Structure 1
Amino acid sequence: MKSILITNANIVNEGQISLGDVLVRDGLIFVAGGDLSEHEADIHIDAKGKYLLPGIIDDQVHFREPGLTHKADIKTESRAAVAGGITSYMEMPNTVPQSTTIELLEEKYKIASQTSLANYSFYLGATNDNLDELLKVDPQNVCGIKVFQGSSTGNMLVDNLETLEKIFEKSPILIATHSENDDIIRANFVKYQQEFGEDIPIKYHPLIRSAEACYDASKKVVDLARKHGTKLHILHISTAKEVSLFDNTIPLEEKRITAEACVHHLWFTDEDYDEKGTLIKWNPAVKSAADRDEILKGVLDNRIDVIATDHAPHTKEEKANKYANAPSGGPLVQHSLVAMLEMYHQKKISLEAIVQKMCHHPAILFEVEKRGYIRPSFHADLVLVDLDNPWEVTAENVLSKCGWSPFEGQTFKSRVTHTIVSGHLAYENGIFHEEKMGERLKFSRK
């Protein structure tokens, strides 16, 4: 593997920004900080004026493989992720077939080992009847167990309360939940269907998948986790009320109950439905400006622990359907970091906080082995960004297989110029180097 020397970088790491160099050898960070210009390396990157961050760890993506590869696949979406500065991802089980057994899970790992430019891990999916399979999971080799409380594809809605209790009581590993109350959602849908028939306006999406539905489900799993001492991570918080469920009085290393905010819930509001329509239809729904602002406040005061994407592509044709038939989700991995950097330019969040929430905290929360920091002996996952190199998102420069983005027409001030994955220069000024694939994430758990 080629050695890499990065010089003159503004290094953003562990709450500080410092000018210095980083030397990478054999896939690891050999030395970090200070003047390393006397060292030789196969690749030299002069980072003068740019900012060097640890690689982003995205704890929630849907790359659609196997079975839904007309929308996306591991190869295309991992390339988009790397172009966006994401060096590691954790992917969801609602594919076809669903990843609800160890055998099916390992088939996805095999695909990723051959095609994923980024580092990878995959959740094992819970159902109402696969508890025995969940208990087989190796905590050092799998990121977590995914529980859908809100409706998902196939048999992945865990709506049996006795089963949910047992999963929380016996899980050997972190449980990540999609928390929405399906009964409340169904009742709301019937109400608006009676009023509008089959042509419900998209602006009613956050009233159908309501704040009440989110809070009720989140509160239920928080209570279960407290009862059983379960390590619980609630994904994509979308309401101000939910933020109140989480604690910021103890260090993340000691938390048993944690939360994630997604870029779209920090960026869009219900005022954007008129322009964006179903392109910003997500579950849980984008809600009010007050919800968005409280979620950001929760990120900044550490009630919410990480920022991720819930990257979930669908084709333009699928999204063009009327509200009830248009699927929820959209592509975000290519633009999540630059969107957060735009919020830095807007003085809403610091560079140090972005790195904390997108790099350090996912590594701590999931106990990822030797990633998420710029430290000697850690895996060399690094991203170099130019904070003053504007570009506009267009359909032509979207790298996800679906070919569109909710950010089309947006000009971002910042640009990812280089991404290093496990010591390999995988992306350089628009060019991918695919001689080496990413690595399977390992977890430092007992």
Structure 2
Amino acid sequence: MSTLFTDATLADGRVRDVLVEGETIARVADAGTLDPADAHEIVDCDGRHLLPGAIDAHVHFREPGFAHKEDWHTGSRSAAAGGVTTVVDQPNTDPPTVTGAAVDEKIDLAAKSLVDFGINGGVTADWDPDSLFERPLFALGEVFLADSTGDMGIEADLFADAVARAAAEDTVVTVHAEDADLFDRAALERAGDGVGRDADVDAWSAYRTAEAEAAAVERALAVGADSGAAIHIAHTSTPEGIDAAGDAGATCEVTPHHLFLSRADLDDLGTFGRMNPPLRSEERRKAVFERVADGTVDIVATDHAPHTRAEKDASVRDAPSGVPGVETMLPLLLREVREGTLDLERVRDLVAANPAAIFDVPGKGRVAEGADADLVLVDLDSTREIRGDDLHSKCGWTPFDGREAVFPELTLVRGHVAYDARGDDEAFGDAIGENVRR
């Protein structure tokens, strides 16, 4: 099968015809120069934008062990509806992905995925690096320097050993950087007894301090330098952490919730806004946004971490950390393009070109001849409100409820339709996702 996209506006503003043959982009040519007779299907883009599919380098699809929160089918549907064509799953499942057998189990579960995927291997005291590195890993990580969901925080000696092993295997190490010794436990003790949206969740932000992140980033970078390892800092929430990574020549990511939400939103969110690292001050949020816009930040990734409403509707001490985000990342960034606060080429790089380069996935992240036909068709003139009930994650809620966003009309994964909202009813494709390390 072949599909011809005519008069498609690319992220850099060029208007092109794009011919997809099978699973690959076969031709990219000046508009009006490709023969429609060469294609089985014609998609008249009529000035709409054709973008490379987003790569979300940080998701938690919760299988095995927590499928009541999310599974590979629901998570990948949510990804496809948000223009994400590749996801990278993190290891804090049950069992944790710290052995070759656990990687094999997760790859089998991912056969339900509508989008392509990578599997990260994790590190605990019980990890088996020999069997782990025999498998087709995407990267090593998320390696936790402090406990989060799954209680996978590790000691300094084990972290150094793991980084050295990853360096020997020429594998990127993704680090969850928080130093628990710098947490303000007194702040958490001051939290009230409210639950859900009545809880004083700002105590969580005061507890897991910005200083704890910055110190852990610097420690991780120093260990990486000693071993010659490539360090990628996950979900940096502070300008200090971003700057430290940049100064050391490491890469970092920022999440949409740290980009668009701050402690000022916690009165409305309550414990639905509890995550690790936590939301920061509005001043820090603005500084993080500036670094995303100016090119200091390498990628945006969601840390998609769904929990049920019942689980989140607890006290600030008991509610699990994390929010969903895989379906709303690209739509929120495209809204910023509409508003003139982000450049479309910058968004393309943040969610597609840069993650493909950092993690060495050469077939992804670009609209170019020979690349995988991972494509997203969007109309920047068409917006709608984000509503949790309209999204496709199993958890059924979002911290961005009520915000305007630009959602995809069509998402292709290697030339296969994964999501189509061009008709009266949206439609999803089949589970054709493959391991990008195949």
> TM-score scaled by structure 2?
0.93
User: 1-side partners of 2:58 and 2:35: how far apart?
Assistant: 38
| Shift, 1:281, TM fit | 1.4
Change in Cα spacing, 1:305 to 1:286, as seen in structure 2 (3 Å) is same
2:8 aligned residue: 9
Corresponding position of 1:98: 96
Which residue of the partner structure matches residue 434 of structure 2?
439
1:245-288 deviation line (CA, Å, top 9, x unaligned) = 1337xxxxxx9621011111110111000112122211101101
The Cα RMSD (Å) is 1.9
Moved more, 28-37 or 376-385: 28-37
Which residue of structure 1 lines up, in the alignment, with residue 302 of structure 2? 309
- Cα deviation for residue 222 of structure 1 reads 0.8
Q: How far off is 1:432 after superposition?
A: 2.9
Other-structure match for 2:241: 242
- SS for the counterpart of 1:299 is helix
SS at match of 2:246: coil
Q: Does 1:31 align with 2:46?
A: no
Residue 44 (structure 1) shift: 1.7
Say if 1:206 and 1:287, in contact at 8 Å, map to a contact too.
yes
For residues 428 and 89 of structure 2, what CA distance do their matches in structure 1 show? 23
Equivalence for 2:385: 392
Q: Are 1:18 and 2:14 matched, yes or no? A: yes
Using the TM superposition, name which of 163-172 and 232-241 deviates more. Answer: 163-172
Mapping 1:292-331, distance limit 5 Å: 292-331=285-324
Once residues 64 and 373 of structure 1 are traced to their aligned partners in structure 2, the CA distance between those partners, rounded to angstroms, is 29
- Amino acid paired to 1:427: Y
Match of 1:350 among 328, 343, 348: 343
C-alpha contact (below 8 Å) 2:90/2:141 kept by paired residues: no
Secondary structure of 1:121 counterpart: strand
AA paired with 2:22?
A: D
Match of 1:117 among 104, 107, 114: 114
Aligned pair partner of 1:128 in 117, 125, 133: 125
Task: Indicate yes or no: 2:194 matched with 1:195.
Answer: no
Contact 2:99/2:128, CA 8 A, preserved across alignment: no
The answer as to whether partners of 2:308 and 2:395 remain within 8 angstroms in 1 is yes
**Superimposed CA distance per residue, residues 17-63 of structure 1 (whole angstroms, 9 cap, x where no aligned partner):** 21111111120000013132444322221111310100000000001
- C-alpha distance in 1, partners of 2:264/2:431? 44
Correspondence 1:261-410 to 2 at 5 A = 261-410=254-403
- TM-aligned CA deviation for residue 302 of structure 1: 3.0
Please give the per-residue CA displacement for 1:164-193, whole angstroms capped at 9, x wherever unaligned: 1111222121110111112222xx23x134
Q: Contact 1:330 / 1:406 at 8 angstroms: preserved in 2?
A: yes
Aligned-pair CA distance for 1:135: 6.3
Residue number in structure 2 paired with 1:157: 153
1:125 Cα shift? Answer: 0.8
User: Contact 2:57 / 2:87 at 8 angstroms: preserved in 1?
Assistant: yes
**Residue matched to 1:144:** 140
- The answer to whether the 8 Å contact 2:298/2:350 transfers is yes
Q: Residue 24 of structure 2 contacts residue 414 of structure 2 at CA under 8 Å; is this kept in 1? A: yes
Instruction: For 1:19 and 1:93, locate their aligned partners in 2 and report how far apart those are by CA, in whole Å.
Output: 41
Matched residue of 1:375: which SS?
Answer: coil
Distance (whole Å) between structure 1 residues aligned to residue 95 and residue 417 of structure 2: 33
Which consecutive aligned stretches of 4+ in structure 1 deviate over 6 angstroms post-superposition?
A: none
Between the aligned residues of both structures, percent identity stands at 33
Q: Is the 8 A contact 2:148 2:321 kept in 1?
A: no
SS of the residue corresponding to residue 17 of structure 1 reads coil
* Equivalent residues of 2:233, 2:245 under 8 A apart: no
| 2:163 match | 168
Output the amino acid matched with 2:50: L
Report the Cα distance in structure 1 between the residues aligned to 2:298 and 2:58, rounded to whole angstroms: 14
Q: Is the 8 A contact 2:53 2:375 kept in 1?
A: yes
> More displaced, 418-427 or 200-209?
200-209
Aligned length: 426
SS at 2:107 equivalent:
helix
Residues 271/193 of structure 1: CA separation in 2 closer, same or farther (3 Å cut): closer
2:409 match: secondary structure: strand
Give the Cα separation in 1 of the matches to 2:129 and 2:81: 39
Separation in 1, partners of 2:78, 2:137: 24
**2:56 is matched with which residue?**
58
Residue aligning to 1:217 = 216
Aligned equivalents of 2:192, 2:350: Cα separation in 1: 42
Letter in 2 for 1:389: S
Q: Which moved more, 1:31-40 or 1:363-372?
A: 31-40
Matches within 5 A, 1:251-262: 257-262=250-255
Contact 1:117–1:437, Cα closer than 8 Å, also in 2: yes
CA distance in 2: counterparts of 1:421 and 1:245, whole angstroms: 36
1:214 touches 1:242 (CA, 8 Å); kept in 2? yes
How far apart are residue 155 of structure 1 and its match?
5.5
